[in-house]
Structure 1
Amino acid sequence: MELELDGHAVYAYTGGKSFDASLPTVVFIHGAQNDHSVWGLQSRWFAHHGCGVLAVDLPGHGRSGGAPLPSIEDLADWIELLLERVGAGETAKSVSLVGHSMGSLTALECAARHPARIGRIALVGTAVPMPVSEGLLNAAKNNEAKAIAMINTWSHSPRATIGGYAVPGIWHMGASRRLAERQHPGVLYNDLTACNTYAHGLEAAAALSCPVLIVSGSKDMMTHPRAAAKLAATLKDVRTVSIEGAGHIISEQPDAVLDALRAFIVA
């Protein structure tokens, strides 16, 4: 699905079905240096089971134009503008937001700033706050290839580094690296800085009244499950799912992620 927002082209994958704003809407929000393609399995399932799906390319990512937005707050407001543009969420609380990593912070902030449309949010691979080491920030700014290699190593579970994938012929580490390399120069540093400087996530969490799902990989080295504990304690209505053996990259165990989302959103 291609449209224009604030004078820039926007792309959102709709899961193989035409987007219908009259259906319950599920918005999938990718993480740093990624695009809509990370949600392939999950977006298709919801699109074929009674939901209108928008797996977005955030500004400056993938097939969406414009510059990458510099803050989580800006990203949250952009999601609200997109929902308004496509006519989603006109029935109160009919939109579910699903975000991974940077996308999880965006979903959290959007639900806090624009609660009228948002019925529930799912935060995958999340931590609040989400600090980024100085070494990784410096690499992202001055040697992007090195930063991508660092993230790719830390984002996968130990098993994933040697294979062991459910789908024959898939090499997740190679695919993840290539996805990151496809993004424009400077996007990674922008995204990591946005995560690092997002300072009031716990305040946003405390303001929420909608149900929240936290999905963590037990082997996540980027956003360790312990880092989500304070967030979970702050939320009023929260459930948590730990995916045993999974790292930060959701494509390692896509079925388990889908099962958690189905149980939360469809129920």
Structure 2
Amino acid sequence: MICTLPGFDAYCYTGGKVFNPAQPTIVFIHGAQNDHSVWALQSRYFAHHGFNVLAVDLPGHGRSKGAALHSVEEMAAWLLAVLDGVGVERAVLAGHSMGSLIALEAAFQAPGRVSHLALLGTTYPMKVSDALLDTAKHNEQAAIDMVNIFSHSSMAQKPSCPGPGFYTMGGARRLMQRMSVINPDQLFHTDFYACNAYANGQTAAQTVRCPTLFIFGSKDMMTPPRSTKLLTGAIAHGKIINVDAGHQLMAEQPDAVLDALFGFATTPA
């Protein structure tokens, strides 16, 4: 679905279903150098089980128009504008990695519009090493290869992968390469810089009052569970679920992530 708003067109994957105002809405927000497709194994289930789905492509990513935004605050404001354009007053927000910071900031900017907050592969501060920032700026393909290795727990396929021959690492690498082709203007560096520069996370977390779910990959090297204590401490009422996966937990353990998300989203706020 294309949402036409003043100044930009935003693409939202809906799981093949028409928007139904009588149903609750869940918004899926991808991470750096990704698009809506990282949520394919979860978003379609939600769309066919009583939810409106808006799996967004952020500006500069996938099918959404406009240049990539340079701060988490701008991305959160963009997300809220998309909800305005679609006519969604209140929604479940589910964000992965950079998308988790966007979801957190959106909940800070407009707390009454977030019924539930799900943060996957998250941490705060979400610092990016100088070496990776420099590589993303000057050799994006090398940065893609580095992050792809760091983001998966192993090269072997997990029992819960969707089917024989599904190459999790290869699929993630090709998606990132496609984002480079769509937007050759140092997209990875722009995304990483936004994560690294975001400074409102603790303040935002301390204001969260809605039901909150953390889903962590127990083998995550990008946002390791040991780094999450500041965030989980600030949202003390948040529920924590660990799955046997790396940073790309939606692909490595799709069923476990889906079960956690669906059970959470269907619990009354």
Quick one: which of 156, 165, 190 aligns to 1:162?
156
2:198 paired residue number: 198
TM-superposed CA distance for 1:229, in Å, is 1.9
2:111 paired residue number: 115
Alignment of structure 1 residues 51-90 onto 2, 5 Å:
51-89=51-89
2:17 paired residue number: 17
2:7 paired residue number: 7
Structure 1: 4+ residue segments shifted above 3 A: 162-165
2:135 paired residue number: 139
TM-superposed CA distance for 1:32, in Å, is 0.3
2:174 paired residue number: 178
2:247 paired residue number: 248
Q: Is the 8 A contact 2:115 2:210 kept in 1?
A: yes
Note the alpha carbon deviations across 1:103-148, whole angstroms, 9 max, x for none. Answer: 0000000001111211111000000110000010001000000000
TM-superposed CA distance for 1:236, in Å, is 4.3
Matched, 1:129 2:128: no
Q: Is the 8 A contact 1:30 1:99 kept in 2?
A: yes
How many equivalent pairs are there? Answer: 260
SS of the residue aligned with 1:162?
coil
Normalising by structure 2, report the TM-score.
0.94
**What is the letter of the counterpart of residue 8 of structure 1?**
F
SS of the residue aligned with 1:116?
helix
Q: 1:151 & 1:60 partners in 2: Cα distance?
A: 19
Q: Is the 8 A contact 2:158 2:252 kept in 1?
A: no
Note the alpha carbon deviations across 1:75-123, whole angstroms, 9 max, x for none. Answer: 111111111111102xxxx410000000000000000111121111100
Q: 1:49 & 1:190 partners in 2: Cα distance?
A: 36
Note the alpha carbon deviations across 1:16-63, whole angstroms, 9 max, x for none. Answer: 111223321100000000000011121111111111110000011001
SS of the residue aligned with 1:54?
strand
SS of the residue aligned with 2:165?
coil
Q: 2:21 & 2:138 partners in 1: Cα distance?
A: 43
**What is the letter of the counterpart of residue 56 of structure 1?**
V
Q: Is the 8 A contact 1:76 1:109 kept in 2?
A: yes
Q: Is the 8 A contact 1:206 1:236 kept in 2?
A: no
Q: 2:229 & 2:264 partners in 1: Cα distance?
A: 19
1:210 paired residue number: 210
Q: 1:71 & 1:6 partners in 2: Cα distance?
A: 20
Q: Is the 8 A contact 2:10 2:82 kept in 1?
A: no
Q: Is the 8 A contact 1:128 1:230 kept in 2?
A: yes
Identity of aligned residues (%): 52
Q: Is the 8 A contact 1:22 1:88 kept in 2?
A: no
1:227 paired residue number: 227
Q: Is the 8 A contact 1:131 1:196 kept in 2?
A: yes
**What is the letter of the counterpart of residue 218 of structure 2?**
S
Q: 1:234/1:172 Cα in 2 relative to 1: closer, same or farther (>3 Å)? A: same
**Higher mean C-alpha deviation, range 123-132 or range 13-22:** 13-22
Q: Is the 8 A contact 1:211 1:237 kept in 2?
A: yes
Q: 1:236 & 1:148 partners in 2: Cα distance?
A: 34
TM-superposed CA distance for 1:263, in Å, is 1.3
Q: 2:86 & 2:93 partners in 1: Cα distance?
A: 15
* Runs of at least 5 residues in structure 1 that lack an aligned partner in the other structure: none
RMSD: 1.1
